[in-house]
């Protein structure tokens, strides 16, 4: 691969460790509601989208590995491992389990669900780390007495750049006790991907689609993580992935999309999804608050939020009425200084992203079967 193309591709790895510091007014409103008088017999589903964050700037490591100079490889690897230890996912998983406990979502869409295997003894070090984010989060949920099961997972990016270093990235969907999952969930990778960017490193994205029944009402729920980065061509790649997703869903309704879409309102990606008849729940229910969800600094040590862009969404189609297309409420989690938890070195944010939780209320006679 030509060096210029390789560097362009490497910029896209920011989705595994995106951080874009900026300030956020702590007084900004982070909850909105259009519940009104909820009619008797109305349906209700609560969903959450949560990027777990791998725990370090993987982009920096891959960039070092891709340069002709081998002298920067080991320092970059050792630096990332130190940050992974500093951002301590088991501690953060307890905080995220707490968010789930407080909000009790029926469906949770997770992104950056990492499996890390780091054995630095092969590089002359002593550190050995094995982290399975999904198993750790499930243990944290079980410790709180919460019953959430895995509905489906999709394997995405894989990185094994040198012996002893392995990262596999997944998306996952968890469902709570009120949810019955239909047969044959879909777990698929997009055909539009960056692909191989360095030896042993392949950047792939995908989506999960489940049929969820809550109190006898049926919903098509999708979770995804689109490509990241701002380099030339990447917004168009996200739009292509979104178009592929819309094609897979067809005209299915009622449908709910969750995920880290890695682009802002008005972007080509956003236009594709809205153009397919989906409504941006945050934008529909909020008229003043920006709803920023990304991103805290790499080691999660900033005492005040550094979120400055809204890239995590809940979209919905066919869950309301013509007069009231989105009824319910939406809010962020993990975005306030009080949400930080005690880490091994310093207080930690639960993730470099804020999460988004939406409760959608549907008409009494609606949603008894898929259309």
Range 8-31 average pLDDT? 39
> Does 371 fall in a domain?
no
> Does 128 fall in a domain?
yes
Percent of residues, the chain, with pLDDT higher than 70: 85
Closest among 58, 65, 41, 192 to 112, alpha carbons compared: 58
- Domain range holding 96? 3-362
Element (H or E) spanning 169, and its range? strand 165-175
Q: What is the mean pLDDT of the chain?
A: 87
Range 75-91 average pLDDT? 90
* Lowest mean pLDDT segment, chosen from 69-73, 192-196, 334-338: 69-73
Spell out the alpha helix ranges (H) of 281-359.
281-285
CA–CA distance, 48 with 123 (Å, rounded to integer): 40
Confidence (pLDDT) at 285: 95
* Lowest mean pLDDT segment, chosen from 28-32, 53-57, 84-88, 224-228: 28-32
What's the structural domain count of the chain? Answer: 1
- CA torsion, ordered 182, 187, 191, 192, to nearest 10 deg: 100
> Does 369 fall in a domain?
no
Neighbour count for residue 126 (Cβ, 10 Å)? 6
> Does 267 fall in a domain?
yes
CA–CA distance, 255 with 218 (Å, rounded to integer): 9
Confidence (pLDDT) at 232: 93
The position carrying tokens 């979502």 is 105
> Does 316 fall in a domain?
yes
> Does 319 fall in a domain?
yes
CA–CA distance, 93 with 72 (Å, rounded to integer): 32
Residues in the chain: 371
Confidence (pLDDT) at 250: 96
Element (H or E) spanning 63, and its range? helix 58-66
Range 285-300 average pLDDT? 94
> Does 368 fall in a domain?
no
Range 333-350 average pLDDT? 98
> Does 294 fall in a domain?
yes
Element (H or E) spanning 67, and its range? none
Please state the pTM of the whole predicted model. 0.88
CATH number at residue 299: 3.60.10.10
pLDDT in tens, 224-276: 999 998 889 999 999 999 999 999 999 999 999 999 999 999 999 999 999 99
Range 158-162 average pLDDT? 86
pLDDT in tens, 105-120: 999 999 999 999 988 8
From residue 276, how far is each of 17, 109, 231, 350 by CA, in Å?
Answer: 30, 21, 26, 33
């Amino acid at each position: 691969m030509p060096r210029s193309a390789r560097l362009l591709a490497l910029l896209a790895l920011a989705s595994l460790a995106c951080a874009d510091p900026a300030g956020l007014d702590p007084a900004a409103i982070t909850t909105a509601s259009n519940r009104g008088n909820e009619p008797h017999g109305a349906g209700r589903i609560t969903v959450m989208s949560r990027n777990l964050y791998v725990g370090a700037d993987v982009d920096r490591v891959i960039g070092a590995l891709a340069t002709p100079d081998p002298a920067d490889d080991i320092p970059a690897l050792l630096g990332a491992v130190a940050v992974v230890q500093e951002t301590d996912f088991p501690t953060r998983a307890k905080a995220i389990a707490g968010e789930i406990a407080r909000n009790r979502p029926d469906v949770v869409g997770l992104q950056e669900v990492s499996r890390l295997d780091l054995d630095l003894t092969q590089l002359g070090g002593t550190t050995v780390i094995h982290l399975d984010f999904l198993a750790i989060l499930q243990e944290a949920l079980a410790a709180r007495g919460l019953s959430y099961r895995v509905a489906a997972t999709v394997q995405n990016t894989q990185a094994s750049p040198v012996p002893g270093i392995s990262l596999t990235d997944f998306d996952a969907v968890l469902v709570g006790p009120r949810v019955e999952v239909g047969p044959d969930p879909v777990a698929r990778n997009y055909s539009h991907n960056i692909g191989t960017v360095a030896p042993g490193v392949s950047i792939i994205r995908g989506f999960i689609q489940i049929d969820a029944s809550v109190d006898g009402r049926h919903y098509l729920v999708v979770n995804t993580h689109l490509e990241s980065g701002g380099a030339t061509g990447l917004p168009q790649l996200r739009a292509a992935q979104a178009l592929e997703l819309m094609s897979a869903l067809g005209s299915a309704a009622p449908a709910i999309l969750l995920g880290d879409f890695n682009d802002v309102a008005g972007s080509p990606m956003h236009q594709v999804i809205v153009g397919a008849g989906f409504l941006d729940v945050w934008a529909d229910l909020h008229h003043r608050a920006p709803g920023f969800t990304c991103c805290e600094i790499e080691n999660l040590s900033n005492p005040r939020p550094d979120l400055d862009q809204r890239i995590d969404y809940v979209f919905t189609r066919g869950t309301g009425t013509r007069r009231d297309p989105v009824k319910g409420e939406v809010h962020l989690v993990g975005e306030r200084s009080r949400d930080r938890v005690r880490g091994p070195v310093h207080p930690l944010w639960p993730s470099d992203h804020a999460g988004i939780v939406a409760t959608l209320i549907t008409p009494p006679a609606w949603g008894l079967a898929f259309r």
